[in-house]
Amino acid sequence: MDAENLHYFEKAPIAKAVAHFAVPMMLGTSMSVIYSILNAYFLGTLGNTAMLTALALTLPLFAVIMALGNLIGMGSGTFISRLLGEKRYEDLKHVSSFAFYSSLVLGLIVMAVGLPLINPIVHSLGATPESFGFTKDYVTIMLIGSPFVILFFTLENIVRSEGAAITSMIGMILSVVVNIIIDAIVIFIFHWGVIGVASATVISNLVASVFYAFHMGYKSQFLTVSVKWFKASKEIMSNVFKIGVPVFIMSIFLGAMSLILNHFLVEYGDQAVAGYGISSRLLQFPEFILMGLCEGVVPLIAFSFTANKLRMKHTIGFTIKAILALAVVFGVVVYLISDHLIGLFTNDPQLIEMGSYILHVTFLSLFITGMTSLFVGIFQATAQGTAAFVMSVIQGITLIPVLYIANRLNGFHGVVWSLVIADVVAFLVGAIMLYILRNKLQPDLENLVH
């Protein structure tokens, strides 16, 4: 971390500091959504609904692999930012080395456990006879490449946590560009279909991981990938897993929610599953923009929590205003052109109608999901492990019974609206916990939740 990054942590005006940390993250996450959308677009050009269905069905698996990367990455990253605020610079090398090698080991374990269980995994994802083969192809490639995917998500968090937001963004954009180029080659030239899409994802994550590792090894003042700095002390383990485990559980619940939702939607045909897959990818764009904003300010909040709590309060207040403004803009755009957006992926009238309907309903809770992401970020940054854990499970715990009840009462419409209900409950729980913890975090923080 150089003097410029330290300036943004400590002295820059709040709006400028938030922009420095959040805008690169927002750009990076939006690019990742763009390549997710392009994956569906490239497959959609082949005119095979079963391939699009397979892509939707494998979202839970990708969520699990990403969750393992965030377990180490978010846990280590927030700890690194707090250590920076405390000026414990040498400890950063131990934490970053621990994060690097732990991620690789986790990936190898996933591959070793997952490959022998490939058929049960595909069945559990809800694959239909038509989509089983495509789903199995995607799952196989993702399991083989899981060490690199996990490493990518870990290192992106680590690099951003020391204030190198631009470097973090470059790595994410590099991953997207490589993915798009390989996608086009393997689908249009080699005609590999789903295998090509999965391979492109793995290779692009590997390339970006190498980029991040080079930065940590040769450019960063405090981070390292050297094994000689590896240390699994009680302090490191407790701080990493106190935040990392709730992040992991949250990601698992999101994957489980997607899996359960797919099982309900299968009852209403492949169009319903494919419609949800397309609309969820479109919804990811504004959601990831807001998530990028909230995750981007986490290092700033974590640093300020140990160095300047008044600055932390002002950072949170500014971020809330930004979430509201972005949610309004995205909401207006989607309600005006939703049919055209779904139509980019398919010319099936029923698929367009279902996808557009799902998009309209899920966009209703965009501001709420943005605020929920901010609550989670505050709890992570300030090492509130219990609150982070509650946030990690509340949405999933709420969604499952709501899905069963809503499906029985109102069929397809009930399934779709259950997502909004679960979002509202998670928001309310987060707001209540932030209010309860206000004195522990900062005496004046109560003003933000009135």
List, as one string, the DSSP characters of 278-329: HHHHHHHHHHHHHHHHHHHTHHHHHHHHHH-HHHHHHHHHHHHHHHHHHHHH
- Count of beta carbons in the 10 Å neighbourhood of residue 336: 10
446 pLDDT higher than 70: no
Which letter, b or e, does each residue of 74-104 get, where b requires 16 or more Cβ atoms within 10 Å of its Cβ? Answer: bbbbbbbbbbbbeeeeebbbbbbbbbbbbbb
For the residues 266-279, what does the mean pLDDT come to?
75
Q: Is 437 helix (H, G, I), strand (E, B) or coil?
A: coil
In this structure, of 141-155, 251-265, 282-296, 377-391, the range with the lowest mean pLDDT score is 251-265
Q: What is the pLDDT of residue 202?
A: 93
For the residues 118-137, what does the mean pLDDT come to?
86
For the residues 285-300, what does the mean pLDDT come to?
83
Most confident of 17-26, 260-269, 315-324, 389-398: 315-324
pLDDT in tens, 196-234: 888 988 999 999 999 999 999 888 888 888 888 888 888
Confidence (pTM):
0.75
In this structure, of 50-54, 298-302, 321-325, 445-449, the range with the lowest mean pLDDT score is 445-449
Let me know: does 121 contact 34? Beta carbons within 8 Å. no
Name the band, by pLDDT with cuts 50, 70 and 90, for residue 2: low
Which letter, b or e, does each residue of 293-318 get, where b requires 16 or more Cβ atoms within 10 Å of its Cβ? Answer: bbbbbbbbbbbbbbbbbebbbbbbeb
Q: Identify the domain containing residue 261 by its residue range.
A: 3-449
Domain count, the chain: 1
User: What proportion of the chain, given as a percentage, has pLDDT over 70?
Assistant: 94
Q: Which residue has the higher pLDDT, 50 or 324?
A: 324
Query: Mean pLDDT for the chain?
Result: 83
156 pLDDT higher than 50: yes
pLDDT in tens, 48-68: 777 877 877 787 788 788 888
Q: What is the pLDDT of residue 213?
A: 94
445 pLDDT higher than 70: no
pLDDT in tens, 357-412: 888 887 888 888 889 889 988 888 887 878 878 887 887 788 888 888 888 888 88
Q: DSSP states of 61-128 as a string?
A: HHHHHHHHHHHHHHHHHHHHHHHHHTT-HHHHHHHHHHHHHHHHHHHHHHHHHHGGGHHHHHHHTT--
Name the band, by pLDDT with cuts 50, 70 and 90, for residue 428: very high
